[in-house]
Amino acid sequence: MSRLIVISNRVSAGGGAQGGLAVALSAALRANGGIWFGWSGEVTDHFTGHINFQRTDGVATATVDLEEQDVEEYYNGYANRTLWPLFHYRIDLAEYERSFAGGYERANQRFAETVLPLIEPEDVVWVQDYHMIPLGRELRNRGIKNRIGFFLHIPWPPRRLLGTLPEAAALVETLFGYDVIGFHTQEWLDSFVDFVKAEMGATVDESGVVRCNGRSVRLVACPIGIDASAFEEMARGLTARRTYEKVRASLVGRALIVGVDRLDYSKGLEERFLGYERFLEEHPEERNSLVLLQIAPPSRGAVESYQRIRSTLEGLAGRINGAHAELDWVPIRYVNQGYPRDVLAGVYRAAKIGLVTPLRDGMNLVAKEYVAAQDPDDPGVLILSRFAGAAEQMPEALLVNPYSAEELSDALQRALRMSLTERKMRWSAMIEDVRQRDVMWWLESFRECLEADVSADGTVTELNRSVA
Ligand code: ADQ
């Protein structure tokens, strides 16, 4: 197999605490050789292009520092204040500034310049996520002929929303620098096709090859998974068991509902709290018999909308607890910190209900982790937003509209009342898919597409399995 060059905004080689994606990419880099390239997270006075080479757990990494203006315009600006909200359908929060767009282009040119000498002719290049949409084109402009793939980890927005971005067509046009573009779901892929057909006059054939202005790119829907067997094992391990015991003891017989999310407006935390409040009001008899534990470590604190969601949630949790708490019971435990994965596994296992209700999410790995952590003899119930990419793969979850407090409240009631037989039936179907389409399946499926031989007429050969 060819050497792999992984390029992403941040490099998290080794895996371990970082989760399935880092584990899988690290495994591929260890097996076939290659380099993981990206931003170091460090800021310098002036961009130098100096590469810091390291080896972390057998994985070669190459990182570069960015200057402050790049971080402000490219990372805090275009990536986090323009593309993230827009691609999560939040045009009310998206900021369209020419300086952000310019900084994004400049940073991607700098990444391309810096990584260029590291790429050898037979390497396969794999660019990750929305921070780096134009990177493939930048590499092509510098003469790179290698196979280059791009994977989008977040949703692709509907055409009319994307149309609000002033440079939408120019940005999308750069994606034709890639050989393959991967999305988590058919829905995101369809939205992309809708845009390029309507706005750019592209055509699409049955094998998923899109043609536009003499260029072509192959599209695949290839849902990411978790490192399922490792997570299942972790949930049975010592740390998870201790956590489980500790959490259960603190509940004194009450049912636990758990939410685990980065503190981000796309995760629907405010709506989740309101749904839970509704439940408490509609079912006073259930008060004192359940607890919502929401674990939400802060993220992207430099961006104002993230500071706002933090204070909104603190206010809401305080209000709900103030209105409903009793001498020996607080309805919401709201925890603003991250935990090691084996601790999380124990928390998931202790929870009768996993509440995963993003307003919009590319995939959502917490839903899969919750399922993988359950006790097969007494599994909990997953309540899942129908607007998470994961819903396409997990129809056996209780699917809800996260904007509707009534639907959330009804789903909570149904989950609390669900028989063991029904819980087992739903869980068995979900765990089978979580195991089968795990993170290695995702990686191998995408790589297979990327390395497949595409003939001049767009026919794809050497592709012996479907990834949709
Ligand atoms: P995220 O938006 O970060 O990822 P998600 O898929 O839910 O969202 O993954 C979050 C990961 O962080 C999970 O592995 C979870 O266990 C971990 N995590 C969350 N809270 C934590 C805490 N308090 N302590 C420790 N770990 C915590 C983006 C996209 C998603 C897509 C992924 C992968 O937004 O839609 O599923 O990439 O492609």
Instruction: Give the separation between CA 283 and CA 276, rounded to whole angstroms.
Output: 10
Residue ranges making up the domain that contains 331? 228-436
Instruction: Give the separation between CA 414 and CA 4, rounded to whole angstroms.
Output: 47
- Domain assignment present for residue 106? The answer is yes
Q: What integer best gives the mean pLDDT of the chain? A: 94
Instruction: Give the separation between CA 299 and CA 230, rounded to whole angstroms.
Output: 26
Q: Give the DSSP letter string of 120-134.
A: -TT-EEEEESGGGTT
Residue 181, by phi and psi: left (phi above 0), alpha (psi -120 to 50) or beta?
A: beta
- Ligand 1 within 6 A of CB of 362: yes
Beta-bridge partner residues of 384: 356, 399
Backbone φ and ψ for 36, nearest 5 degrees, come out as -105, 120
- Domain assignment present for residue 457? The answer is no
Please check whether residues 125 and 261 belong to one and the same domain: no
CATH number at residue 354: 3.40.50.2000
- Domain assignment present for residue 348? The answer is yes
Please check whether residues 154 and 208 belong to one and the same domain: yes
Instruction: Give the separation between CA 70 and CA 67, rounded to whole angstroms.
Output: 5
Of 2, 264, 276, 267, nearest to 121 by C-alpha is 2
Strand-pair category, 332-335 with 353-356: unpaired
Q: What is the pLDDT of residue 456?
A: 43
Backbone φ and ψ for 326, nearest 5 degrees, come out as -120, 180
- Per the listing, tokens 């006790």 go with 375
Please check whether residues 96 and 243 belong to one and the same domain: no
Tokens of 225: 């998974």
Give the residue whose CA is nearest to atom 19 of ligand 1. Answer: 261
Distances (CA, A) of 53 to 43, 56, 403: 17, 10, 46
Q: What is the pLDDT of residue 1?
A: 78
236-256 per-position pLDDT tens digit: 999 999 999 999 999 999 999
Please check whether residues 392 and 342 belong to one and the same domain: yes
Give 21 or 176, the one with higher predicted confidence.
176
Instruction: Give the separation between CA 5 and CA 33, rounded to whole angstroms.
Output: 9
119-165 per-position pLDDT tens digit: 999 999 999 999 999 999 999 999 999 999 999 999 999 999 999 99
Give 43 or 207, the one with higher predicted confidence.
43
DSSP-derived letter for residue 254 is P
Give the residue whose CA is nearest to atom 20 of ligand 1. Answer: 261
Percent of the chain surpassing pLDDT 70: 95
Pocket test of ligand 1: the residue of 21, 262, 336, 392 to mutate, having most ligand atoms within 8 Å of its CB, is 262
Strand-pair category, 460-461 with 124-128: unpaired
Of 301, 287, 377, nearest to 332 by C-alpha is 287
DSSP-derived letter for residue 302 is T
Please check whether residues 162 and 214 belong to one and the same domain: yes
- Give the distance, in angstroms, between the CA of residue 116 and the centroid of all CA atoms in the same chain: 27
The three-class DSSP label of residue 52 is: strand
Pocket test of ligand 1: the residue of 21, 226, 258, 364 to mutate, having most ligand atoms within 8 Å of its CB, is 364
Domain count, the chain: 2
45-74 average pLDDT score: 96
Q: What is the pLDDT of residue 365?
A: 95
pTM for this entry = 0.95
Distances (CA, A) of 101 to 95, 167, 179: 10, 8, 24
Q: What is the pLDDT of residue 465?
A: 35
Please check whether residues 203 and 328 belong to one and the same domain: no
401-434 per-position pLDDT tens digit: 999 999 999 999 999 999 999 999 999 999 999 9
Instruction: Give the separation between CA 398 and CA 384, rounded to whole angstroms.
Output: 6
Please check whether residues 236 and 332 belong to one and the same domain: yes
CB-CB contact of 111 with 134 (8 Å): no
- Ligand 1 within 6 A of CB of 267: no
Longest dimension (CA), the chain: 73
The three-class DSSP label of residue 215 is: strand
| Residues with catalytic function | 153, 361
Residue 459 has pLDDT above 60, yes or no: no
Helices (H) then strands (E): counts for the chain: 17, 18
Q: What is the pLDDT of residue 451?
A: 92
Please check whether residues 94 and 138 belong to one and the same domain: yes
Residue 9 has pLDDT above 90, yes or no: yes
- Ligand 1 within 6 A of CB of 19: yes
277-287 per-position pLDDT tens digit: 999 999 999 99
380-390 average pLDDT score: 98
Backbone φ and ψ for 153, nearest 5 degrees, come out as -85, -10
Give 371 or 307, the one with higher predicted confidence.
371
The three-class DSSP label of residue 432 is: helix
Burial class (CB in 10 A: 0-12, 13-18, 19+), 429: middle
Q: What is the pLDDT of residue 464?
A: 34
DSSP-derived letter for residue 155 is P
- Domain assignment present for residue 375? The answer is yes
- Separation of 365 CA from ligand 1 center, angstroms? 6
The three-class DSSP label of residue 405 is: helix
Please check whether residues 354 and 268 belong to one and the same domain: yes
Please check whether residues 213 and 244 belong to one and the same domain: no
Instruction: Give the separation between CA 468 and CA 9, rounded to whole angstroms.
Output: 26
Residue 269 has pLDDT above 60, yes or no: yes
Percent of the chain surpassing pLDDT 90: 86
Q: pLDDT grade, residue 452 (50/70/90)?
A: confident
Q: What is the pLDDT of residue 453?
A: 63
Q: What is the pLDDT of residue 22?
A: 85
Tokens of 405: 């407090």
Give the residue whose CA is nearest to atom 22 of ligand 1. Answer: 338
- Domain assignment present for residue 248? The answer is yes
163-180 average pLDDT score: 98
Q: What is the pLDDT of residue 180?
A: 98
Q: What is the pLDDT of residue 46?
A: 96
Give 299 or 88, the one with higher predicted confidence.
88
The three-class DSSP label of residue 227 is: coil
Please check whether residues 426 and 445 belong to one and the same domain: no
Please check whether residues 28 and 50 belong to one and the same domain: yes
Q: What is the pLDDT of residue 437?
A: 97
Q: What is the pLDDT of residue 307?
A: 86
DSSP H or E segment with residue 343: helix 341-350
Instruction: Give the separation between CA 314 and CA 300, rounded to whole angstroms.
Output: 17
Strand-pair category, 215-221 with 332-335: unpaired
